[in-house]
Amino acid sequence: MAGQAVRPSSTESDAGRSTRWRTVDIVVTAVLGVAFGVVFWAWGLLWNSTGPAFAAFPPGQAFMYGVWLIPAVLAPLIIRKPGAGLFAELLAATVSALLGSAWGTSTIVYGLLQGLAGEAGYAAFRYRRFGWPQALLSALLAGAMAATLDLLYWYPGWTLGWKTTYVALVVAGTTVVAGLGAMALTRALAASGVLSSFASGRTRV
């Protein structure tokens, strides 16, 4: 509506905002999850095909990691409901596994734990703020979880130096790609008008 005030979401308080999920919230989060599930599957193919290029120093490939964490950060920015990041990330991981992810059903475990870690970035602010600090914290925590899982599942025999480098690259890359990327996507979608049914489409982030 013309003349409606636009407030920065990073400073607004949503204490009175309902946490009840609407049908539109469920549908949009599901669409995000399915769409990114296809992206996850395709990104897995790219990851595996570029692996040989990092044979001399495998931790270097970690800069590509952030794409797999975007739903965990993006969905809460858009939906602004507890559980949105977990829902989107877990669904994306499940779709990826069903499409034939090279990592099989372990992908679903990753989706569950990465989604929970991403949620923590917003839960730390009691789901009342949805701005840059929350998105970056969400991405950082999700990246830390992903790197930890990888070291436990796939790379337990790496040297301490390689492990440290890998964690640092995954966390940094995820913070940039998933954190900044999710904010950029939210802004672009809000500007297009498709988020008019959400608070994220009516406030500046």
Q: What's the total number of domains in the chain? A: 1
- Output the pTM of the full model: 0.89
% of residues, the chain, pLDDT over 70:
90
**pLDDT category, 202, cuts 50, 70, 90?**
confident
> C-alpha 138: how far from its chain's center?
8
Q: Is residue 15 part of a domain?
A: no
Q: Is residue 138 part of a domain?
A: yes
Q: Is residue 2 part of a domain?
A: no
Residue numbers of the domain that contains 158 = 23-201
Q: What mean pLDDT do residues 82-94 have? A: 98
Residue 171's H or E segment, with its range, is: helix 160-174
Q: Give the domain CATH number at 144.
A: 1.10.1760
Least confident of 1-15, 47-61, 127-141: 1-15
Q: Calculate the average pLDDT of the chain.
A: 91
Q: Tell me which long-range contacts 149-154 makes (C-beta under 8 A, separation of at least 24).
A: 149/109, 149/110, 149/113, 149/114, 153/106
**pLDDT category, 205, cuts 50, 70, 90?**
low
Q: Is residue 16 part of a domain?
A: no
Q: Is pLDDT larger for residue 204 or for residue 52? A: 52
List all residues 6 or more positions away from 171 whose beta carbon is below 8 Å from its beta carbon.
140, 143, 144, 147
Q: Is residue 29 part of a domain?
A: yes
- H helices of 12-157, in order, are 23-50, 70-79, 84-99, 106-123, 132-153
Give helix 132-153 / helix 106-123 axis angle, nearest 10°: 150
Q: Is residue 43 part of a domain?
A: yes
Rounded-to-integer distance, Cα 200 and Cα 135, Å = 13
What are 1-50's pLDDT values in tens digits? 333 433 444 434 443 467 899 999 999 999 999 999 999 999 999 999 99
Q: Is residue 6 part of a domain?
A: no
- Residues 186 and 85: beta-carbon distance below 8 Å: no
List all residues 6 or more positions away from 74 whose beta carbon is below 8 Å from its beta carbon.
32, 88, 178, 181, 182, 185, 186
Q: Is residue 17 part of a domain?
A: no
